[in-house]
């Protein structure tokens, strides 16, 4: 601990990490590219807020007893196949800066791994038996050199001591196009049929923890969930770093 602190202090002098939110110095390596103050100002879901139990959309202002929380639905997610989706917090401040940095460098700050683990320990995600990252399109993997979802999945699998499965779920087509400005249905259509399960026996009866970096419309994770459930997965729980506005 002391050594880490000494090392952090030396590192701050030798190579100060500027906070990607406020521009100040980042005090500890475990915080990644965001300083302590900016992390404190970042909204982190505690599990106590009222959300759509299925897709995790916040329902501000709605106060209901704990035992009724699993009944809350936003109904916009009714057609989606996953059982539940959760994130550390909204896609803003420290979480947004960390996700953007993470697209450039395959390093996940220990602080984020801890927060992801906290979310994964809550019901119903704590029923997960297997961790699967959303596969990255081959061309994009080649450009970037890594798949963020796979980096998160590997870190979590180690922390949670769950099997990491990077082979069962694959991209089945190279036709996925992302076009800005597409509506919900348009975005859904571009990913429908983009995924396939290569080893159905490995996902049969499993509670899959499906990992991606950001949940926006849920179209991508839902396309993955459809093929996983069609292959016999009992539940698909989605875990992302942040939740964007859909």
Sites for Zn ion among residues 136-155 (CB under 5 A): none
Residue 55 lies near Zn ion (rule: CB under 5 A): yes
Those residues with Cβ within 8 angstroms of residue 196's Cβ, 6 or more apart along the chain or in another chain: 169, 170, 171, 172, 227
* 219 counts as binding Zn ion under rule CB under 5 A: no
**Whole-number Cα distances in Å, 186 to 77, 182, 222:** 16, 5, 14
β pairing state of 130-133 and 84-90: unpaired
Query: In the set 11, 22, 72, 113, which binds Zn ion (CB under 5 A)?
Result: 22
With binding defined as CB under 5 A, does residue 196 bind Zn ion?
no
Structure tokens at 123: 């019901």
Q: Which stretch binds Zn ion (CB under 5 A): 28-36, 64-72, 104-112, 170-178?
A: 28-36
Which CB atom, from 74 or from 162, has the smaller least distance to Zn ion?
Answer: 74
Under the criterion CB under 5 A, does residue 38 sit at the interface with Zn ion? yes
59 or 117, CB closer to Zn ion? Answer: 59
User: What strands lie across the sheet with 130-133, from one edge to the other?
Assistant: 84-90, 235-243, 207-215, 130-133
Phi, psi of 116 (to 5 degrees): -65, -40
Cα dihedral 166, 167, 169, 171, rounded to 10, equals 100
Of positions 74, 113, 162, 170, contacts Zn ion by CB under 5 A: 74
Based on the shown chain and the rule CB under 5 A, indicate whether residue 221 belongs to the binding site for Zn ion.
no
Choose which of 28, 31, 32, 35 interacts with Zn ion (CB under 5 A).
35
Whether the CB-CB separation of 87 and 243 falls below 8 Å is answered with yes
Q: Which stretch binds Zn ion (CB under 5 A): 76-84, 182-190, 197-205, 236-244?
A: 76-84
Asked if 19 interacts with Zn ion (CB under 5 A), we say: yes
Nearer to Zn ion, 129 or 246 (CB): 246
Toward Zn ion, which CB reaches closer, 78 or 143?
78
Query: How many other CB atoms are there within 10 angstroms of residue 179's CB atom?
Result: 8
CB atoms within 10 A of CB 218: 27
Figure out which of the listed residues 17, 21, 191, 208 binds Zn ion, where binding follows CB under 5 A: 21
Question: What does the binding site for Zn ion look like in residue numbers (CB under 5 A)?
Answer: 19, 21-22, 24, 35, 38, 52, 54-55, 57, 74, 77
């Amino acid at each position: 601990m002391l050594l880490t602190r000494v090392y952090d202090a030396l590192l701050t002098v030798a190579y100060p990490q500027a906070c990607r939110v406020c521009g100040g110095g980042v005090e500890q390596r475990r915080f990644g590219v965001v300083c302590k103050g900016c992390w404190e100002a970042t909204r982190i879901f505690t599990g106590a807020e009222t959300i759509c139990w299925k897709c995790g959309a916040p329902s501000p202002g709605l106060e209901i007893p704990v035992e009724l929380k699993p009944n809350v639905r936003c109904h916009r997610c009714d057609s989606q196949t996953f059982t539940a989706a959760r994130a550390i917090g909204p896609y803003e401040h420290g979480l947004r800066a960390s996700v953007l940095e993470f697209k450039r460098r395959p390093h996940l700050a220990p602080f984020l791994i801890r927060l992801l683990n906290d979310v994964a320990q809550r019901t119903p995600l704590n029923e997960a038996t297997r961790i699967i990252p959303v596969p990255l399109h081959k061309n994009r993997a080649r450009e970037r050199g890594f798949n963020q979802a796979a980096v998160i999945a590997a870190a979590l699998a180690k922390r949670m001591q769950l099997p990491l499965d990077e082979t069962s779920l694959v991209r089945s087509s190279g036709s996925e196009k992302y076009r800005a400005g597409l509506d919900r249905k348009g975005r859904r259509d571009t990913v429908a049929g983009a995924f396939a399960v290569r080893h159905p026996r490995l996902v049969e009866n499993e509670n899959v923890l499906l990992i991606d970096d950001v949940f926006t419309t849920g179209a991508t994770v839902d396309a993955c969930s459809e093929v996983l459930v069609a292959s016999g997965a009992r539940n698909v729980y989605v875990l992302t770093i942040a939740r964007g506005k859909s």
